Structure 1
């Protein structure tokens, strides 16, 4: 399958580590020009050093929950590479708390990074994609946004909002050949798994049809497909790349 991603320009938010880093790496393997992004300079610079020899990459520190910084991130791609073809909204975080203990700051912080960040970057990228009459936007949701999680009211609300935003933007942007989809991943190799007890992990993974963590590269493969010409007629969809987690315990 020819993904036809060579010389395309992609912005990948949250690509200083984990799934975002794997996505950026796979794009570079395909000859895509990539703007890496993270809110933390240190992991972002380290990732740029690691990936620079793979292809044409640059990095921009930005807090996507802030509109001006999200816009500056998209402009980095346009100024350096002349365009933006692909936006991957991978930046996200959580701050768990039971509802009766959750502070307004904790609620706002998670909503802003996950939902506002996705909106601000999409809004900024859309302006350029509309002019080009083509574009791909890939967002990230979670099973928490589909089914909810105890102790994650803020995160679940943000991720559910991303599903709604994806569908709305798909309808609004489609006339300009811009597709908008979202991925619900289940992967290891991220900070979410750090420090989990081994016994807990064994029990937890038995809830999956494929009883293991997904690899960040496996999530990246789905992103590249949705970014490619092969997925030109797919929009407004949520793709679960989760080893069967979303279908329930076998």
Structure 2
């Protein structure tokens, strides 16, 4: 049987955490690659949302990238919960799961093709996007907050917390645009350069997931800490050292002065 301290290096959690981190990195590479490829022709596409790719020949790349992000996020959450960093029924874990659900809806239901008109698919897509964008900052902040002063996981928690806050700040321009729409009536997506704002928001949120993934990798690699020795029972008097008249230190029972 393997020693207890060697078990974590063979734990499946180690590979799950690493796979989650790699999946998130592949998402960045795929989406970034599409943008760089389009930059060779024009910067106009940057004014459009990222999900615009799902309406063209690059849909399979977009769908693959988002599904990789979903799978990576699920893997990260599973490792953090498995090792006690979070609980399944905590608000942070539920928000992290909601982020994954929102991204899945984005893939299943493409955005509106305005050359045709609004659709039910586009409405669900918008709801999924909003759910994901709101849930991730909440998840990062709430998962990290209890651990920010922890001597072991404090650094990981603080970085996760910071990117959660940055993600929330990156979402504020969209809230401002929605407010302008409510007061003035201008279409909210015309108030701001939506494509640029969305890319900044997505970048900060994906980096937040990646930071959490690094935390999960660290958690999965940490050796198990042996249980501390049990504290002596104050109601039991320890045996005295062995003497010639009492081999092995055995003696008859004598109630201690603290016995009840």
- Which structure has the larger Rg over C-alpha atoms? 2
Q: Work out whether the TM-score is over 0.5.
A: no
Q: TM-score, normalised by structure 1?
A: 0.28
Q: Which has the higher strand share?
A: 1
Q: TM-score, normalised by structure 2?
A: 0.27
Q: Which has the higher helix share?
A: 2
